[in-house]
Amino acid sequence: MNNFWRTDTNETVKNKANEFYVLTKGYCYNPWGETLKVYPGDVLRRDKFGKGRNVTPEITRFRALDEEGNVIKIFQCANGEGEVFNKLIWLKESDMARAVEIFIEYEIGCIGKLNEKIKGHEDTIEKFKSLLA
């Protein structure tokens, strides 16, 4: 992979018309099968810009680096540290236990939302059954 995205902290990274800057160094956690992959690297941010209907939203990416500082992957991730987006989180400090806890809380929340949907469908079935009685 080329080193187009390779920069030092606070250096602006240009990607066509978008300008990203290094927000912080950190670690990206990516569930992969039965493991949790950890990638060290940089958190890149492009701030919201534009006016009216031409506003481009804030975007955060994680640039995973190998030991030599070469880019191995770029992930689109949440704007905030410790937030799940695309089944990924990034943290400023290396903390596998915290990452696992965040993913567990996220999955419990997903289960709760699914249970609400199931309850809604069960209520709808009962309403239809009452029409037959």
Q: What is the pLDDT of residues 94-119, one digit of tens each?
A: 999 999 999 999 999 999 999 999 99
Confidence of residue 3 (pLDDT cuts 50, 70, 90): very low
Count of CA atoms in the C-beta half-sphere (13 A) of 55? 7
Q: CA separation (Å) from 119 to 66, 94, 105, 111, 113? A: 47, 39, 21, 12, 10
Cβ atoms of 60 and 47 within 8 Å: the answer is no
Q: How far apart are CA 98 and CA 83, in angstroms?
A: 12
- On average, the pLDDT of the chain sits at 86
Tens of pLDDT, residues 53-91: 766 778 899 999 999 989 999 999 999 999 999 999 999
| Neighbour count for residue 116 (Cβ, 10 Å) | 10
Confidence of residue 18 (pLDDT cuts 50, 70, 90): low
pTM of the full predicted structure? Answer: 0.76
